[in-house]
Amino acid sequence: MKTYDQLSKRRLLKKRESIVYIFQITVDIALMIILLSILVKIKVGDIPSEYRILMVMAALLQFTIYSVSGVYRRFGSFFQSVYRLLTAWFLFLLVLLSIGFVTKASDSFSREVFLQWAVLGFVLQVATYALASRAIGIYRDKFVERAESLIIGQGRLAKHLFNSVNGNKWLPDNIVGFVSFGDGSPAGSEERIERQAPVLGHISDIRGILKYHDIKRVYFAVPLSDSALVETLHVELLDSNVDLIWVPDIYALKLLNHSIREVAGLPLIFLNESPITSTRTGIFFKHVMDKVLSLSLLMVLLPFLVVIAVIIRVGSAGPAFFKQPRHGWDGKVFNIWKFRTMHAHSDGNVKQATRDDQRITPFGRFLRRASIDELPQLFNVLSGEMSLVGPRPHAVSHNDYYDNHIENYLLRHRIKPGITGLAQINGCRGETEEMNKMRERVRYDVEYINNWSLWLDIKILAKTPFSLTSKNIY
């Protein structure tokens, strides 16, 4: 038996970058350089040294961003692929602009050339991607032999795998059916589902099934409770000249921002990980966006904030600002800042504001309706305690209460809290007088963490102003 040191010499998680991938990214980089050269020649008449440096930097940057973003992953529809390309191209241009701004070199380049390059470059890449996809599709249909495959299992994972594999034109596999392994009793471990392919037989007849249907590839799609079956069949089918692929059913577990990586040849399945630790590059840009936007907003809104503070002080006794302990990232407690919207009171119990709440001042009611009372939280963002986008932080006593009543409630703390979030733009704002309302808010918060991206933050920020008219805010 091989030792772990021997296994670690071979990468378990292989990077399967095809010739098509290398060809596509090489063509795109070459076209972008040629296009930029033509535009510069038309505008300047020559190619100055600063543009040559830009071309080298752009080629390296485009290769890095496109590789990390998985632009040329061959799955999904054509429009999904174009969306991935648009996102990567936008990020590429944003990084170039940021470098130019930081180094103060942007004045050396023509804005007209850059704008033309940005638009025409994207159109050209979409065209080449469409042509390449069409050519590859024709080649696969005519020259690539389909590999007959089957799935051992009949549960939801097996059905999902069947739809994913047979619905992917880039894979040569053709799943012809399922093989059952349960005893057929109601207490069996298999979950029966509506099938789109026949059950070819029972696991006890596996060798005959492989031979009769000329199977080249076998997928194990079994629950974790039946994982011992994989080891048994692996040994039994080693001499059958078929590819054996195990699809572990990790989705039966409660997952958060899950991923699979490798260290020294060993697979690591991250079942629960914060985006802060899993996507460091993306989170870095999120932090930069938080700092830049919060500082810019504070500079623009400072006179407005001062006027509001004065009106609050004049309108009722007490300070202009209100601070309250809240749980932040990783459960750490911080003081959140808000404009005071209630009459000053000494009640130590934290109670949510309700409709016609007598504690709220007339001016405070206006501030809450327009969500202006939240603006001082820009200082929390600037200090790094909060983000512009993330799950809304709740009072410490509310966290303790909901943690005992809502499953996975504390998963919300796996990322920094925000001034706005996915839950808020979907109408989950204001009082949560019913438990289901808080459950819905938590569901959106967990969905945000699972699907976090910088682009998602931008979309939430863009939609936030249109979500401030909710009747539940008081």
Rg (CA), the chain: 28
Average pLDDT across each block of 10 residues of the chain; the chain has 474 residues. List them in order. 51 56 85 92 86 90 83 71 87 88 81 92 91 78 78 85 79 86 48 66 90 90 83 85 85 72 68 75 87 93 92 87 88 90 64 65 85 92 94 86 83 89 86 80 90 89 81 54
How many domains does one find in the chain?
A: 3
Please tell me whether residues 51 and 92 are part of one structural domain. yes
**β 333-339/321-327 pair status:** antiparallel
Structural domain boundaries, residue 369: 278-467
Please tell me whether residues 237 and 295 are part of one structural domain. no
Query: Is residue 5 domain-resident?
Result: no
Q: What is the pLDDT of residue 434?
A: 78
Q: Under DSSP, is residue 414 helix (H, G, I), strand (E, B) or coil?
A: helix
Please tell me whether residues 435 and 391 are part of one structural domain. yes
C-alpha distances (whole Å) from 350 to each of 325, 326, 396, 398, 442 are 10, 11, 9, 8, 20
Query: Is residue 7 domain-resident?
Result: no
The residue type found at 221 is A
Query: Is residue 10 domain-resident?
Result: no
Which of residues 85, 115, 143 is at a domain's end? Answer: 143
How far is Cα 235 from Cα 431, in angstroms, rounded to an integer? Answer: 59
Q: What is the pLDDT of residue 11?
A: 53
Q: How many CB atoms lie within 10 A of CB 281?
A: 11
Q: What is the pLDDT of residue 330?
A: 80
pLDDT, tens only, 218-239: 999 888 778 888 888 888 888 8
Give first-to-last CA distance, the chain, whole Å: 67
Query: Is residue 363 domain-resident?
Result: yes
Please tell me whether residues 34 and 70 are part of one structural domain. yes
Q: What pTM did the predictor assign?
A: 0.61
Q: What is the pLDDT of residue 82?
A: 85
Side-chain-side CA neighbours of 346 within 13 Å: the count stands at 0
Query: Is residue 28 domain-resident?
Result: yes
How far is Cα 70 from Cα 60, in angstroms, rounded to an integer? Answer: 16
Which of residues 143, 169, 194 is at a domain's end? Answer: 143
Please tell me whether residues 325 and 463 are part of one structural domain. yes
Q: What is the CATH number of the domain that holds 174?
A: 3.40.50.720
Q: What is the pLDDT of residue 187?
A: 34
